A and B are shown apart, each in its own frame.
Chain A
């Protein structure tokens, strides 16, 4: 498949009329969306204005225009990421009609580099889910590009789906506990979740501040590396942004992996993992071996055993405070003004949050109550430290760790309905731990089974996104 680079070159050479190209893409989005519900909002006006501006600058032979890394590239944005003047609701009714007054840091970067914002992708409300079925009240559930009766995964389900369906496009996703790699796996695309702090969260509508990460998703690994090079970097407006030297992500692509070491996470295979999934992930590992990587099994008991519990404790505690600000008072949904402020806030929150949002608010509030904080929230913070230590030990020996991204094939909606909340949470078992530890991880599509895609999860040490891209491109090359 053609990579974005070729498109950019054609746009720069004015072989493609950028306005016409964008118009066509928007029409294509509308067409796809009629059936698949990947976009909550198609930002047609913004996209066409950006395209016209680029066209003018190209005609005027503006000197800077040729240096723009994303010139004319369509970028979809997860709904939770703020785009100035474009409805940004994090998939929640409580933020419906909310148009941010400012661009998220990543959007500023994308715009600066000539990327064209085509719309806001569908997601679980505030990121609360693994199948994109927990969309907010009034929002539509995105459907798997390979089987409309199945899930896209989540929470960046719309981003993954449209990445599969729409060519000449890259997506901005967001992950708290696996929301980039898991939907990427279910939709057969690449998804890179960076090291916590590598990409500014400024302008990201918070789910869990110590876990949220914005990352690129796309059909080609080069495209993912390209978008990563645009969005990563220090931001003084995000206190948790890492002030480190930026990496040249694209330079890792196609770099040989001979002699590099990969640890196969023992606990991530075997019982609980679907046979087809396991088989294809092993195929992926074989491809890495063929390229010269050395593999060895490693036991990572703590992350697999306690990952889910730790993650849900921290994530719901933080989420319950982050969601407090939505009370129908300053922006978003509002209700008829009646009663005391307490009654009004209660009404606004009762009527506009979905069930899963309410569940997580209740769970998180409970975990931070006096008398429970020590047993739950503070304990989880300690386990997190232990998990990081265990990973760090592993990375002394290995360049990357590998597991399936999801233990199952994309499930049918009718089967998801039968899951209890806890079973639903278990879908994240492979992905929560690297998220809790703030480690970069990448989904690499490794094969198909029953016409459904399967993904392999690669995890690297902090700030080693380069290695992930290196391994990922080695698998892509092998295919």
Chain B
């Protein structure tokens, strides 16, 4: 057993759906009708006499992931039967991989640069989905929908090297970024789930497994809850038992599924309905050639070509959609300005709205229109930020909107002087204070002018005019 020293030890087993058109072992579509049990055939229903035929595209997708995660790739792809009885299993065994996974000994970097080891990456088929009509614990019966049965999955197993729920979240986030860059995962509809092994120092690292956590936001929630639960138990000198728990997202708690003394025995044997697939060098070369630019490639490019600071480049590259938007915007707008607006303002507004970029409708066209106006000083930063907030909510034609709402910056010097004169006249006390040496009082006058112009003037310019006048 590994010798742990950190307060918290977390390892993840992540299942991600590969975005192929058809299932892993039959030609049923992975997308389409949501009507239960319509995207099925004898193979994914496990009917007697049916046989699996491997979807090569899914293997290519999995190989891309192995390459991106710096894995050693097995020269042979071998599938095994993982046997256990469960109502979501069409055959009561799952076609998976055992002794020799497709990829092993890989790694993935967290945002701050920490390298997390990847034990293995393997392929398997998804079981059916179970629907508990009256909730998971209470339902007297379950409904089974085989539409998902046989969808291709990759399982990514990390080393127990994550030290906090935040790191676990970040790992998931980074992994999703990689999957997204590789275009092997449907960022909108694809399912990504994790089982987490978590233990704490106080309990001498008794391992608790939490099953079925969906998405990277949930993983942090579930782990924060579980770590606190374990710490609380330890504080009261309760022994933490090795067990398997489930995450109840609705109530924000984990609950015990089963205590386990020993590892489950799945009685793996090779699935001889499938032949061993050679992963030939030639095939790998072709796949490598097709590999899209990954985040690290983008960072390098942004720094070298667009002269961005490394830190800005990293933030932009961390999300495929943001990086791609930046590249398009940077064709028309000064890249440094574009980077500043995308990584700061756009990200800020998205965070505020709790949206991911791919969920918002705003596109590069809106950003180019908006930043052109900023670049040419047609609108102020203030106004632009406000427009951006609205754009994230619902996009519109930026140029028309600015015209209609008369948001162009007041650059007519005479008009500005008029506003300044008015403000000085209306605030004699402030002028007096300023003259007495209270520098701050000037800001009050500038504020008054900004109010009159509805923010369409730049404070710096207003400041200069007022100084000239008084």
One of A369-377, A389-397, A470-478 at the interface: A369-377
| Residues of A in contact with B (beta carbons under 8 Å apart) | 81-82, 88, 90, 95, 98, 100-102, 104, 201-206, 209-210, 236-240, 317-318, 320-321, 324-325, 327, 329-331, 341-342, 345, 365, 368-370, 373, 377, 381
**Can you add 6 more A-B contacts, CB < 8 Å, to A236-B53, A324-B92?**
A100-B48, A203-B50, A317-B269, A321-B267, A325-B48, A325-B93
Q: Is the CB of A239 within 8 A of B54?
A: yes
B50 nearest CB across to chain A (Å): 8
**Alpha-carbon separation in the docked complex, A341 to B51 (Å):** 26
**Alpha-carbon separation in the docked complex, A47 to B463 (Å):** 100
| Nearest-CB residue, chain A, relative to B142 | A341
| Nearest-CB residue, chain B, relative to A366 | B267
Q: Is the CB of A202 within 8 A of B49?
A: yes
Q: Is the CB of B92 within 8 A of A209?
A: no
A101 and B272 in contact, given A204-B49, A325-B48 (Cβ under 8 angstroms):
no
Q: Is the CB of A201 within 8 A of B85?
A: no
| Nearest-CB residue, chain B, relative to A236 | B53
A235 nearest CB across to chain B (Å): 9
Q: Is the CB of A237 within 8 A of B51?
A: yes
Q: Is the CB of B81 within 8 A of A321?
A: yes
* Contact with B273, one of A98, A239, A325 (Cβ below 8 angstroms): A239
What are the residues of chain B within 8 A of A238 when measuring CB–CB? 51, 53
Q: Is the CB of B269 within 8 A of A82?
A: no
B266 nearest CB across to chain A (Å): 8
| Nearest-CB residue, chain A, relative to B83 | A321
**Alpha-carbon separation in the docked complex, A236 to B91 (Å):** 21
Q: Is the CB of B49 within 8 A of A341?
A: no
Q: Which of B237-288 contact A (CB under 8 A)?
A: 263, 265, 267-275
What are the residues of chain A within 8 A of B270 when measuring CB–CB? 381
| Nearest-CB residue, chain B, relative to A200 | B51
What are the residues of chain A within 8 A of B86 when measuring CB–CB? 341
B222 within 8 A of A: no
A330 and B45 in contact, given A324-B92, A324-B93 (Cβ under 8 angstroms):
yes
| Nearest-CB residue, chain B, relative to A208 | B272
B135 nearest CB across to chain A (Å): 17
| Nearest-CB residue, chain A, relative to B90 | A325
What are the residues of chain A within 8 A of B52 when measuring CB–CB? 239
Bits for B135-168, please: 1 = Cβ < 8 Å to A, else 0: 0000000000000000000000000000000000
* Contact with B49, one of A82, A210, A370, A377 (Cβ below 8 angstroms): A82
A325 and B46 in contact, given A201-B51, A368-B268 (Cβ under 8 angstroms):
yes
A321 and B93 in contact, given A102-B42, A341-B87, A368-B268 (Cβ under 8 angstroms):
yes
**Alpha-carbon separation in the docked complex, A65 to B91 (Å):** 40
**Alpha-carbon separation in the docked complex, A240 to B85 (Å):** 26
**Alpha-carbon separation in the docked complex, A369 to B269 (Å):** 10
| Nearest-CB residue, chain A, relative to B274 | A239
Q: Is the CB of B85 within 8 A of A377?
A: no
* Contact with B48, one of A90, A236, A342, A369 (Cβ below 8 angstroms): A90
Q: Is the CB of B81 within 8 A of A206?
A: no
**Alpha-carbon separation in the docked complex, A65 to B275 (Å):** 37
What are the residues of chain A within 8 A of B360 when measuring CB–CB? none
| Residues of B in contact with A (beta carbons under 8 Å apart) | 42, 45-54, 81, 83, 85-87, 90-93, 263, 265, 267-275
Q: Is the CB of B47 within 8 A of A369?
A: no
Can you give 27 contacting A-B residue pairs, CB < 8 Å? A95-B48, A100-B42, A102-B49, A104-B49, A201-B51, A203-B49, A206-B49, A237-B51, A237-B53, A239-B53, A239-B273, A239-B275, A320-B267, A321-B267, A324-B93, A325-B46, A325-B48, A327-B85, A327-B92, A330-B46, A330-B90, A341-B85, A345-B85, A365-B83, A368-B269, A373-B268, A381-B270
**Alpha-carbon separation in the docked complex, A98 to B265 (Å):** 31
Q: Is the CB of A369 within 8 A of B267?
A: yes
Q: Is the CB of B85 within 8 A of A342?
A: yes
A368 and B275 in contact, given A204-B49, A324-B83 (Cβ under 8 angstroms):
no
Q: Is the CB of A240 within 8 A of B48?
A: no
What are the residues of chain B within 8 A of A206 when measuring CB–CB? 48-49, 273
A340 nearest CB across to chain B (Å): 10
| Nearest-CB residue, chain B, relative to A95 | B48
What are the residues of chain A within 8 A of B274 when measuring CB–CB? 239-240
**Alpha-carbon separation in the docked complex, A238 to B273 (Å):** 8
**Alpha-carbon separation in the docked complex, A101 to B267 (Å):** 30
**Alpha-carbon separation in the docked complex, A46 to B273 (Å):** 30
**Alpha-carbon separation in the docked complex, A227 to B317 (Å):** 63
What are the residues of chain B within 8 A of A320 when measuring CB–CB? 83, 267
**Alpha-carbon separation in the docked complex, A238 to B42 (Å):** 13
**Alpha-carbon separation in the docked complex, A69 to B269 (Å):** 41
Q: Is the CB of A100 within 8 A of B272?
A: no
**Alpha-carbon separation in the docked complex, A95 to B81 (Å):** 22
A-B interface, 4 closest residue pairs, ranked by CB to CB distance from nearest: A324-B92, A210-B272, A368-B267, A203-B49
| Nearest-CB residue, chain B, relative to A370 | B265
| Nearest-CB residue, chain B, relative to A323 | B92
A69 nearest CB across to chain B (Å): 24
Q: Which of A82, A206, A239 counts the most B-chain CB atoms under 10 A from its CB?
A: A239
A324 nearest CB across to chain B (Å): 4
What are the residues of chain A within 8 A of B269 when measuring CB–CB? 317-318, 321, 368, 373, 377
Q: Is the CB of A202 within 8 A of B46?
A: no
Q: Is the CB of A205 within 8 A of B48?
A: yes
What are the residues of chain B within 8 A of A82 when measuring CB–CB? 48-49
**Alpha-carbon separation in the docked complex, A377 to B99 (Å):** 14
Q: Is the CB of A209 within 8 A of B272?
A: yes
What are the residues of chain A within 8 A of B272 when measuring CB–CB? 209-210, 240, 318
What are the residues of chain B within 8 A of A205 when measuring CB–CB? 48-49
Q: Which of B47, B51, B268 counts the most A-chain CB atoms under 10 A from its CB?
A: B51
**Alpha-carbon separation in the docked complex, A331 to B269 (Å):** 25
What are the residues of chain A within 8 A of B263 when measuring CB–CB? 370
What are the residues of chain A within 8 A of B47 when measuring CB–CB? 100-102, 330-331
What are the residues of chain A within 8 A of B85 when measuring CB–CB? 324, 327, 341-342, 345
What are the residues of chain B within 8 A of A317 when measuring CB–CB? 269
**Alpha-carbon separation in the docked complex, A98 to B86 (Å):** 21
Q: Which of B49, B52, B265 counts the most A-chain CB atoms under 10 A from its CB?
A: B49
